[in-house]
A = this chain, B = another copy of it.
């Protein structure tokens, strides 16, 4: 039966064209190498080397085998390496997607920690995505881990880990009377347009935000934007106010103030999701994300 041992020896032998030198490189004795080649020739039924005591030359069959054996051994090595990384969960590629409101706080912290603690893990990070889109990409296998705020549609074909609940804060233009207050009552904002994430099934933030406003007796004119960054920029431009999770405070812009809401706190949950039975890397990175978010979530602002 042909074994990789035969192929490994043959490749070196074909390279050296000399049994003695090849044996040294293989850390075996020359007679053993002769035996292996003989076995290989018996197994394959082809003469692989034209050899005399003076000269070792590849036959046509030998040339064919040299190429094939090299490919096979490369495939084995590559597979072995891949499996090692997979098994240790210390390397491999992980694709992470973040919802907009986690893009400016969680994302950079996670990236930093992974680079520090799992330097061989190749992170592919995408921010400013929307919850339903993230879940769809997870299910499609286009993403390994998603960090988002769950709507009603989180089914149990995904493993979901609750990271933390973040209180909503108001995003106000810097020149608003309440911009420097310790807290703001939503009713003080009556009449201002509300900048929100998209409606429909696209964002889980908008229904939450609208509900909060309605309960405070507000029915603001709504301006929808695609990204959290844009939302804050709009507020900075004086186009209205917004309601965002606390951690968006990491996104500091001139002309913008983040002010806690007075009264009973309203929170937006942040979760992490991945497919069930994840690869060790995915599990490891997930754990790191959880550690990052629980450890230093609240004091992320400056």
Hey, which bits of chain A sit against chain B, CB under 8 A? 1-5, 41, 43-48, 59-61, 64-65, 68-69, 71-72, 75-76, 79-80, 82-84, 86-88, 92-93, 277-280
Give the residues in chain B near A41, CB-CB below 8 Å. 87
Q: Are A60 and B3 in contact (CB under 8 A)?
A: no
The residue that A68 contacts in the complex, of B4, B79, B92, with Cβ under 8 A, is B79
19 contacts between A and B (CB under 8 A): A2-B80, A4-B4, A44-B79, A44-B83, A44-B87, A46-B86, A47-B87, A59-B279, A60-B86, A60-B92, A60-B93, A61-B83, A61-B86, A64-B79, A64-B83, A64-B86, A68-B79, A68-B82, A72-B76
Given A72-B75, A277-B60, check contact A44 B84 (CB 8 Å). yes
A222: min CB distance to chain B, Å: 44
Give the residues in chain B near A68, CB-CB below 8 Å. 75, 79, 82
Give the residues in chain B near A46, CB-CB below 8 Å. 83-84, 86-88, 280
Q: Are B65 and A79 in contact (CB under 8 A)?
A: yes
Give the residues in chain B near A71, CB-CB below 8 Å. 75
- Whose C-beta in chain B lies nearest to the C-beta of A65? B83
Q: Are A80 and B43 in contact (CB under 8 A)?
A: yes
Known: A61-B279, A65-B83, A72-B72. 5 other contacts (CB 8 A): A2-B4, A46-B86, A46-B280, A47-B87, A71-B75
Q: Are A1 and B4 in contact (CB under 8 A)?
A: yes
Give the residues in chain B near A2, CB-CB below 8 Å. 4, 76, 80
**Measured CA separation A87–B40 after assembly (Å):** 12
Give the residues in chain B near A64, CB-CB below 8 Å. 79, 82-83, 86
- Whose C-beta in chain B lies nearest to the C-beta of A67? B79
- Top 9 nearest A-B pairs (CB, nearest first) are A46-B87, A44-B83, A45-B87, A45-B84, A68-B79, A61-B86, A46-B83, A60-B279, A3-B3
Give the residues in chain B near A44, CB-CB below 8 Å. 79-80, 83-84, 87
Give the residues in chain B near A45, CB-CB below 8 Å. 83-84, 87-88
Give the residues in chain B near A278, CB-CB below 8 Å. 60
The residue that A79 contacts in the complex, of B47, B72, B79, with Cβ under 8 A, is B72
The residue that A75 contacts in the complex, of B5, B75, B92, with Cβ under 8 A, is B75
A41, A69, A76 interface centre (most CB from chain B within 10 Å): A76
- Whose C-beta in chain B lies nearest to the C-beta of A68? B79
**Measured CA separation A84–B47 after assembly (Å):** 9
Give the residues in chain B near A59, CB-CB below 8 Å. 279
A10: min CB distance to chain B, Å: 11
**Measured CA separation A278–B279 after assembly (Å):** 54
**Measured CA separation A280–B79 after assembly (Å):** 35
**Measured CA separation A86–B2 after assembly (Å):** 17
Give the residues in chain B near A93, CB-CB below 8 Å. 60
- Whose C-beta in chain B lies nearest to the C-beta of A69? B79
